[in-house]
């Protein structure tokens, strides 16, 4: 009889090989489809719904399905193809999204299989999940990227569609129980991009005990996806930010004693 774990499935919309910016070493990133947040700047709008959906493919000039239902064994078979690269580079597998915690049972089962193979594990998360679920997942990971969208709850609600208290509770738990936590802050025009915001973020991070921050400049890589999904995009034609645009923001964090880089 197949085990319950073998029967588990999840909607996955991409498995990206040879990634260098999603944890240490060379990594494979498994992108889970589905997210409880609705950040209006989201660069991967095809990741928001939990089910396969149609999206126009401009190169092929036709609709294609985004997202595929996969088993744990199917995902493991794919990520194990690059095991030698993980071993040689100190890399591993990163679970991302969407929001990996949104399909937590599958994520836990997959992480357990990865740990059984002694593969380094990481997640990229919004932290928006019941604390019991969050704790089960991070107990199985070696490295955590944790998103922080805003320091003000009402602005967080306006930008993402959810309050941030649950996120902060989980972040506090992660910082207390895990050594490898990096907080990522997307810097979005007319939302959190002023130097005054950087000062507030730095104080916020100090109060939480955050020691490592990555600033992510707003980009337009996902702009065309909204059109391909027949969705409205609120930041159409808004100018991108670049690394040099955030140099002063970076200095503010560093002056606050927080290790900070711009991605």
- pLDDT at position 5 is 57
Structure tokens at 145: 């990227």
The pLDDT tens digits of the residues spanning 128-144 come to: 999 999 999 999 999 99
Predicted pLDDT at 61: 87
Give the pLDDT score at 6: 58
CB 126 within 8 A of CB 162: no
147: Cβ contacts below 8 Å, ≥ 6 apart: 124, 125, 126, 127, 183, 184, 185, 186
Domains of the chain: 4-262 (3.20.20.70)
pLDDT mean over 103-116: 98
Non-local (6+) Cβ contacts of 186 within 8 A are: 39, 41, 147, 149, 192, 216, 218
Would you give the DSSP letter of residue 252?
A: H
In DSSP notation, 104-156 reads HHHHHHHHHHHHHTT-EEEEEE---S-HHHHHHHHTT-SEEEEE---SSHHHH
DSSP state of 231: -
Q: Looking at residue 41, what is its pLDDT?
A: 97
Q: Is the pTM of this model over 0.85?
A: yes
pLDDT grade, residue 2 (50/70/90)? very low
């Amino acid at each position: 009889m197949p085990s319950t774990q073998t029967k588990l499935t999840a909607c996955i919309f991409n498995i990206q090989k040879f990634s260098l910016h999603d944890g240490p070493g060379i990594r494979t990133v498994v992108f889970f489809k589905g997210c409880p947040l609705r950040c209006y700047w989201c660069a991967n709008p095809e990741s928001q719904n939990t089910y396969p959906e149609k999206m126009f493919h401009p190169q092929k000039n036709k609709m294609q399905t985004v997202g595929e239902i996969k088993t744990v064994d199917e995902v493991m078979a794919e990520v194990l193809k690059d095991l030698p690269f993980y071993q040689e580079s100190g890399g591993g597998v990163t679970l991302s999204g969407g929001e990996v915690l949104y399909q937590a049972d599958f994520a836990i089962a997959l992480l357990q299989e990865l740990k059984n193979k002694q593969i380094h594990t990481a997640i990229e998360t919004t932290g928006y999940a019941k604390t019991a679920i969050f704790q089960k997942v991070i107990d199985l990971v070696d490295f955590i990227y944790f998103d922080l969208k805003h320091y003000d709850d009402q602005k967080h609600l306006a930008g993402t569609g959810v309050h941030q208290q649950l996120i902060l509770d989980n972040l506090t738990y992660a910082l207390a129980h895990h050594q490898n936590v990096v907080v990522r802050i997307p810097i979005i025009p007319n939302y959190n991009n002023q130097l005054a915001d950087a000062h507030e973020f730095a104080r916020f991070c100090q109060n939480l005990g955050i020691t490592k921050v990555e600033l992510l400049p707003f980009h337009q890589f996902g702009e065309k996806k909204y059109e391909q999904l027949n969705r409205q995009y609120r930041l159409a034609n808004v100018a991108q930010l670049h690394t040099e645009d955030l140099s002063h923001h970076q200095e503010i964090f560093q002056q606050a004693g927080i290790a900070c880089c711009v991605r």
